[in-house]
Structure 1
Amino acid sequence: MVIERDRSNELYDLFRQCTSSQARRQEAPLHSSNEVQTFNRFAQGVSRDIAAVSDKIMQLAKVARNQSVFDDQTAVISGLASSVKTSLQKLHDDMDTLETLKTQSLASQRGTGGNNLFRGNALKTSQKHNETVIDTLKSRLASTGQTFRTTLQSQSKTLRSNANRRFQFTSSDQPQSFESALFQEQEQQQQQQQLMSGNTNTQYYRQRLDAVRELEAAVAEVGEMFSDFARLTHEQEDVVLRIDVDVDRALENVNAGSNELIRYLSNISSNRGLILKIFAILFFFLMFFGFFVVH
């Protein structure tokens, strides 16, 4: 005889527990996704800013190449250099902010959700992704800063060269004095023009000297700003070299494994021939003895 028992309450309790646990699982990713989305949006903004700075540096290099002795583009070059330096300083600060957002994102993800294996793997994957994004942006920013530094150094050399060439073109010896009274007035006018030209050249050289000093100061600031990023770039190069070595070793192991498989296949093939011969001999003896037994 079967005894019936009402277990509807247990079923309802189990259903409520499943519903509440599912709701908690749905709320946790929404909270963590906001932090992750903030990090991703900020990283995308930093990437766009780096691209914009690279375009400015290319424009600066183009203006510097097109500059000649009598085509002064110092004002344009100084404006672009100042804009790029300000943007690089902002990007340097943005990288610190990005590090803070990465820490907050990981902390929020650890604070929500369970401690199961899937959650732990998701946290490790997210942490690895964030670190890769930051390292990539740092590498791009370091490369951009190095390009800007090289451009400023080249522009500084160009300014010195143009100043020397202009000095050779504009400087001249004292004009020959004429004893005739007819040329006295003309000689005085020439001397006045030469004095005015000398004052203009002096002012020009002072401007070039100030421009060179500004560029050299910018080079020093950029060098100090990106010394850490340069170190990071060298470390990444070492990592890449180690990865190449590991890939070569893995390729050697794969080739060795392939050779072992081919050798094993050849052994199996030779054993297969031997087994077929044994079965053929047995079949022959069976047929032979069966023939004589039957007869």
Structure 2
Amino acid sequence: MGVDRLSLNALRAFEATARLRSFSAAANELSVTHGAVSRHVRMLEDTLGLPLLRRNAHGTDPTAEGQRLAEGLSRGFQLIQASVEQLKPGPLTLSCSESIMMYWLLPRLSRFQEVNPDIELRFNMGYGPVNFARDNISVAIRLSTIEPPKEVIRTGAVTEWIGPVCSPSYLRSLRVTSPADLARARLMVSRTRPQAWEDWSQCCGTDLGALHIAEAFNHFYLLIQAAKCGLGVANVPRMLVHDDLNSGALVAPLGFVAGPHKLSVWVAPHLSRRSDTVKVVDWLTDELRTSEPHRLSMAPA
């Protein structure tokens, strides 16, 4: 059987379906109909003469043969994408969480644009694993809890500092002067970091015992807003509340400590030597190191 008999569209449809475990998700990614994806996969199975997917009520799972084919196709499509980008460079895409974008990156972005007016940056909101080629991501800011791709270039690692913050009015009503006073507080967390209070307790060497979390929010930006509105005490990374602390919208009665995680800048290897990539990475690295302190401090910020 010749390779020229295989449809590229069918191969793409199958790779996306096997990776996403869903015809509907594959159709959405490829901007085609569910039926078109299903027909392409069935045609590929007929051409190869063997089943590639196990279909069930909950989705699809690749067979052993299908998994081997899907892995090879994923590598191939990523190589195609990387090769095209090397020949025809486009705008760089920076990926980071919504909270980092809102509270850390955007307030600093004008400084980068003033120095580099010719560099166009696009943005991808995310905080999980990264596939540089598939998702067309050039540079990413990620926490050390996320497993990096094998080929990634990592740079600019800094320790993330964490601590409790609240509104000035809430602090006046609660009078928090020591970690023990938090037992009387309404503690809040982000669901993206449910263990934040335990991490802080261990890092500052304080045994708070069994903690009661009064409320959890889906994102840090909602958690920070709740703290500003006087709804309780939030445990957050310092980099996200730097401006609110300076403006007085929030206070940090117990200061901040070096947390258990680090932040790094990840770079797509096929774009790492582009001059605009180097400028973006150098700027991000400098900003991270400037915004995060380097010595332990329990003093109020």
| TM-score (normalizing by structure 2) | 0.22
Which structure carries more strand by proportion? 2
| TM-score (normalizing by structure 1) | 0.22
Which structure carries more helix by proportion? 1
Structure with higher RCO (Cα < 8 A, 6+ apart): 1
